[in-house]
């Protein structure tokens, strides 16, 4: 993956006009060439000695051959459009960059709620299985109660009663899909994962123990 970066310093008097043109016309025209996957426009937070406002526009492209094709087939026409509209009001320079790493925060990818009432609240367990301390909120599971019978004579379980007077306090954590699968592995075959609605209104996963009564 490669990034085609265009940094532009535009006169402040026409900066908003230029920015609107970039959003509504120029960037869509560049993407319409079919040679880029996405575009991002950023304001550079620096005070230039020359004045003006500086922006960086980053276009992602799969390979250098596609970028070279853009230079040959599309760039002259699109650059001419900018010159006609803002001639003498901006300066720009271009940089080619190769993406050598693309890392993401696990917390930003977290989309799965998991209601816990037992050992998954233990920070030692969290670090061992998720490599981080989970962030959660207090919540309540209605119509359930803590079961008298333990799973494998050691681990807690809850049971559904349907009684509005019954409830189980716990903590709801936000996990990534990958972390939810790790939680499945941790709970093992003794538990099944079901979806429940909490008192807060959140839909969350719950591990419910499988009781063998044979």
Query: Tokens 């992602």 sit at which residue?
Result: 60
pLDDT of 90 over the 80 cut: yes
CA distance 133 to 136: 10
Please report, for residues 135, 168, 199, the alpha-carbon distance to residue 159 in angstroms, rounded to integers and kept in the order given: 26, 10, 16
What is the CATH topology of the domain spanning 2-98? Alpha-Beta Plaits (3.30.70)
Q: Which pTM was predicted?
A: 0.52
pLDDT band at 197 (very low <50, low <70, confident <90, very high): very high
**Above 50 in pLDDT, residue 93?**
yes
Going by C-alpha positions, the residue among 92, 84, 108, 24 that lies closest to residue 55 is: 92
Predicted local distance difference test score (pLDDT) of residue 214: 39
The CATH number given to 107-209 is 3.10.490.10
Centroid of chain to Cα 209 = 32
pLDDT band at 97 (very low <50, low <70, confident <90, very high): very high
Mean of pLDDT values over 172-197: 93
What's the order of all strands across the beta sheet hosting 2-10?
38-43, 53-61, 2-10, 90-98
Closest C-alpha among 21, 37, 33, 31 to residue 72: 33
Please give the pLDDT value at position 132.
Answer: 87
Range 18-27 average pLDDT? 94
Q: Which position has the higher pLDDT, 104 or 53?
A: 53
Say yes or no to pLDDT of 8 above 90: yes
With a cut of 80, say whether residue 211 has pLDDT above it. Answer: no
Contact 189, 128 (CB under 8 A): no
- Residue 135 pLDDT: 85
**Pairwise CA distance, residues 140 & 137, whole Å:** 10
pLDDT tens string 175-186: 988 899 999 999
| Chain segment 107-164, per-residue pLDDT in tens | 556 789 999 999 999 999 999 998 888 888 999 999 999 998 888 888 999 999 999 9
For the cut 60, the answer to whether the pLDDT of residue 212 exceeds it is no
Domain boundaries, the chain: 2-98, 107-209
- Between CA 141 and CA 115 the distance in angstroms is 8
pLDDT band, very low/low/confident/very high, at 195 (cuts 50, 70, 90): very high
User: In this predicted structure, what is the pLDDT of residue 50?
Assistant: 78
Please state, in angstroms and rounded to a whole number, the distance separating the CA atoms of residues 201 and 6.
46
């Amino acid at each position: 993956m490669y990034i085609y970066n265009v940094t532009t310093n535009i006169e402040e008097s026409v900066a908003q006009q230029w920015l609107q043109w970039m959003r509504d016309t120029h960037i869509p025209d560049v993407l319409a060439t079919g040679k880029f996957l996405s575009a991002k426009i950023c304001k550079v937070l620096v005070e230039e000695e020359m004045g003006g406002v500086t922006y960086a526009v980053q276009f992602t492209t799969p390979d250098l051959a596609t970028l070279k094709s853009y230079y040959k087939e599309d760039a002259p026409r699109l650059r001419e459009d900018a010159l006609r509209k803002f001639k003498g009001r901006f300066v720009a320079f271009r940089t080619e960059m190769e993406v050598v790493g693309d890392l993401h925060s696990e917390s930003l990818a977290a989309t799965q709620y998991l209601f816990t009432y037992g050992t998954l609240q233990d920070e030692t367990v969290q670090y061992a299985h998720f490599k981080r301390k989970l962030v959660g909120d207090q919540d309540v599971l209605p119509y359930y109660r803590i079961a008298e019978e333990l799973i494998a004579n050691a681990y807690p379980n809850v049971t559904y009663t349907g009684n509005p007077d019954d409830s189980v306090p716990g903590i709801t954590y936000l996990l990534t899909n990958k972390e939810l699968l790790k939680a499945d592995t941790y709970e093992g075959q003794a538990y099944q994962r079901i979806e429940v609605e909490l008192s807060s209104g959140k839909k969350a996963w719950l591990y419910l123990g499988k009781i063998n009564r044979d």
